[in-house]
Amino acid sequence: MERLKTTLCGIPLDNPVIPASGTFGYGEEFAAIYDINCLGTFSFKGTTAQPRFGNPTPRIAECTAGMLNAVGLQNPGVEAVIGEILPRMKTYFHKPVMANVSGFSVEEYAGACEKLGREPQIGWLEVNVSCPNVHGGGMSFGTDPKAAAQVVAAVRRVTNKPLIIKLTPNVTDITEIARACEAAGADGISLINTLLGMRIDPVRRRPVLQRGMGGFSGPAVFPVALRMVWQVYEAVKIPVVGMGGIASAEDVIEMMLAGACAVEVGSENLVRPTVCKDIIEELPAVMDRLGIEKLEDIIGGAHEWEKM
């Protein structure tokens, strides 16, 4: 449907709805439920240079209006993704796909992105800078503008694919990080990743997650995500992808009014596996009710309020 179309870093999308990395695997399980080619695209499971088993269990916990996870980037590694998973993906997904990439050093990021960037199926590289910098004492790359910029610059040198940098919300000023990424060569920004949280089992008197803390996501984080998308849209000139607690067509409209040109749906996929399909099907009726002819026309539209 023409009125749902948008563009992300120069690549057209049939609609702005994108399942977020870590909640959609490589799409294969969901393709058994519905035709995932109805999606704008999807961001596949976070991929690292080497295979990772992930963190010890328990590493998932439900909580009010959301969930905690400390999965630990479990994935088969970049070589297996290229050699085994992407060829299989061609049989059930026929659009450019977004590759989410993580690393524990600048060199790891660059190496994985260079390899994935050669693959014709990959439309965008979503670079997750929420990983700990092993050369910086474990601090996340995405909490320091200089460290984030180093990752972006290194990846920019090895690929011409559009680079979308996924930012952590666990910072004092999200716009400072976003500007640093833009200056280093990023083509887009996606936000937010999970907020740091925890739960404690009062019976056992210990944290619910084996690692103590984990990433908090779900509907409860939506206002925080919306605020940060709003701020970053005003701070940079490159496209913004909004995510964090999106669960309805109305949420998509809000995110786009705040400045997102596309949105990613995360935790809700685990609760309602058809949520992305449902949102796409519900969008036209919501647009009619709100007097919206084309989604592209409303990107950043709420910022006009400040000029009144």
Catalytic residues: 131
What number of residues does the chain have?
Answer: 308
Residues forming a β-bridge with 212 = 209
Q: Which amino acid is at 136?
A: G
Residue 218 — left, alpha, or beta (φ > 0 → left; ψ -120 to 50 → alpha)? left
Each residue of 139-173: b (16+ CB within 10 Å) or e?
Answer: ebbbbbbebbbbbbbbbbebbebbbbbbbbbbbee
What is the residue-wise DSSP string for 185-199? Answer: T-SEEEE--PEEE--
- Measured N-to-C along each axis, helices 249-258 and 222-235 cross at an angle, to the nearest 10 degrees, of 30
Cα separations (Å) of 186 from 58, 59, 257, 262, 269?
36, 32, 22, 16, 28
